[in-house]
Structure 1
Amino acid sequence: MSAPMAAQRPGDPFLVGRGLVKNYGAHRALAGVDISLRAGEVAAIVGPSGSGKTTLLHVLAGILRPDGGEVLLDGHRIDQLGEAKRSALRRHEFGFVFQQGMLVGELTAAENTALPLLLAGANRKQAMAGARDWLAKLGLGGMEDRLPGELSGGQAQRVAIARALAHRPKVIFADEPTGALDTRTGEETTRALFDAAAATNAAVVIVTHDRDLAAKAGRVVEIRDGLIAGGVMAA
């Protein structure tokens, strides 16, 4: 962004969506959603398929522009930014964890983890040192030079978590992060994500069908037909 973020005061809403509307042709995916998160808060967004939960995540993360309403990060509107500035925002302020990890197959675990640091301007030596540190924190010490194809599903997801956290983002967006994992590995991955995010005071937004995962979040937000269930603000 063109100006530094304002200092966050404890307890203040940090990521805010107001009156969010998103249409896909005649289908209204979001029908006026209000939601806010505080720094360090973990919120799970749940709901049936097609309810609008992934669309909400994408709008909050600046991947999609809302057709109505506004999104604020630390008091600054981000929905009005151009694509280049929203892309820079995603690189510097946000981290992402997806269901399949989305690791680069030709890069090692350490190189995958270092990508956000390199994009942020760190030199390769600094980026690789930071990447190895995060991998060690997530129990992957000794696996830094393995390619994604040489890792188990749970190990690959922890690399994805390390990559999401390497540049110390303000918000982590996770879309079905345990959807491709067995129950035990999913629980271990969830714990690793929550513990690592807590260490950096990052807010976490998780879209999930997994009710057990959602129950571990600090707050559950249910979406139905493009609205917060019950029609009340999720705050």
Structure 2
Amino acid sequence: MSVPIVDRQPGDPFLVGRGLVKNYGSHRALAGVDLAVRAGEVLAIVGPSGSGKTTLLHVLAGIVRPDGGEVLLDGHRIDQLGEARRSALRRQEFGFVFQQGLLIGELTAAENTALPLLLAGADRARAMAGAREWLAKLGLNGLEERLPGELSGGQAQRVAIARALAHQPKVIFADEPTGALDTRTSAETTDALFAAAAQTGAAVVIVTHDRELAAKAGRVVEIRDGHIAGGVLVG
């Protein structure tokens, strides 16, 4: 699925969740959440374990459907789409960075980075050239042919960031992207993520327990027991 191009200005809301409800059995993970993501912003979602923050990210990203409410991208509902169309939407419009990176072990750093471009139909030469360009931007020159098992944790996460940005998505969803990294590597990795996203104009929605990481965001939203508990502007 391709969402029509909108003349979007920095600060305009373009990904909107309204009245989001999600239940897992008797547990209500989201209890009527309203949240708008603005073009080009870095939004951190914080809260204790089990608060609903990862569920909120998954619903906004079209990974799971809400049981109530709606999700709109550029004014078009995406929560009602079938799985195949939501999967295509995620490949085309969104990028993802997870705690463990989820790189494919048999592929090199360049090949992992090129995957979104190949899935979008780019020929291999163009996809690999684009992948190498993003790896260079993230300080990984000379590591393009290494397998994930030959990279440090921080290097692997930078490859995951390059992969997430290679097709220039509208928004990057990052779920605890530094949870497995030490403090110094965590700071370097998130700084690289935010800087690289800013080059493309992509928004970043990051779920984290790390308050120092969250403090680098332009906006912080706290979720507790499936409700938005509060939001503050940082900076």
TM-score tier (shorter): over 0.9
Find the aligned partners of 1:99 and 1:3 in 2 and give their Cα distance: 28
Question: Is 1:67 matched up with 2:59?
Answer: no
Is 1:137–2:164 an aligned residue pair? Answer: no
Deviation at 1:175, TM superposition (A): 0.3
Q: Does 1:17 align with 2:17?
A: yes
> Which secondary structure does the structure 1 equivalent of 2:215 belong to?
helix
**Which residue number in structure 1 is paired with residue 151 of structure 2?**
151
Aligned match of 2:182: 182
CA displacement at 1:74 relative to structure 2: 1.0
Q: Give the drift of 1:37.
A: 1.2
Counterpart contact for 1:34–1:233, Cα < 8 Å:
no
Equivalent position of 1:164 in the other structure: 164
Runs of 4+ in 1 over 3 A off after TM superposition: none
Q: SS of the counterpart of 1:229?
A: strand
Q: Work out whether 1:216 is the aligned partner of 2:190.
A: no
Q: How far 1:2 sits from its partner (Å)? A: 5.4
Q: Structure 2 CA distance, aligned partners of 1:171 and 1:178? A: 18
Specify the alignment match of 2:42 in structure 1: 42
Give the whole-Å Cα distance in 2 for the aligned partners of 1:128 and 1:32.
Answer: 43
Amino acid at match of 2:219: R
Post-superposition offset of 1:233: 11
1:20-54 superposed Cα distances (whole Å, 9 cap, x missing partner): 00000111000000000111100000000000000
What does 1:89-108 correspond to in 2, within 5 Å?
A: 89-108=89-108
TM-score for both structures, normalised by structure 2: 0.96
Q: Distance in 2 between matches of 1:233 and 1:142?
A: 41
- In 1, Cα distance between equivalents of 2:152 and 2:45: 27
Correspondence list, 1:193-212, <5 A: 193-212=193-212
What SS is found at the alignment partner of 2:157? helix
Aligned CA distance change for structure 1 residues 161 and 3 (closer, same or farther; 3 Å): closer
Cα distance, 1:27–1:134 mapped onto 2, change above 3 Å: same
TM-score, length of structure 1 as denominator length: 0.96
Output one character per residue of 1:104-155: Cα deviation in whole Å (capped at 9) or x when no partner: 0000000000000000000000000000000000000110000000000000
**Is the partner of 1:115 in helix, strand or coil?**
helix
* CA distance, structure 2, for counterparts of residue 7 and residue 233 of structure 1: 27
Per-residue Cα deviation, 1:194-217 (whole angstroms, up to 9, x for no partner): 000000010110000000000001
Whether the aligned pair in 1 keeps the contact of 2:2 and 2:92 (CA below 8 Å) is no
Letter in 1 for 2:190: T
Q: List gaps (5 residues or longer) in structure 2.
A: none
C-alpha contact (below 8 Å) 2:44/2:208 kept by paired residues: yes
Partner residue of 1:128?
A: 128
Cα distance between partner residues in 1 of 2:2 and 2:110:
30
Shift of 1:75: 1.0
Q: How many residues are treated as equivalent by the alignment?
A: 233
- Contact persistence 1:35–1:233 (CA under 8 A): no
Q: Which residues of structure 1 form unaligned runs of 5+? A: none
Amino acid at match of 1:35: L
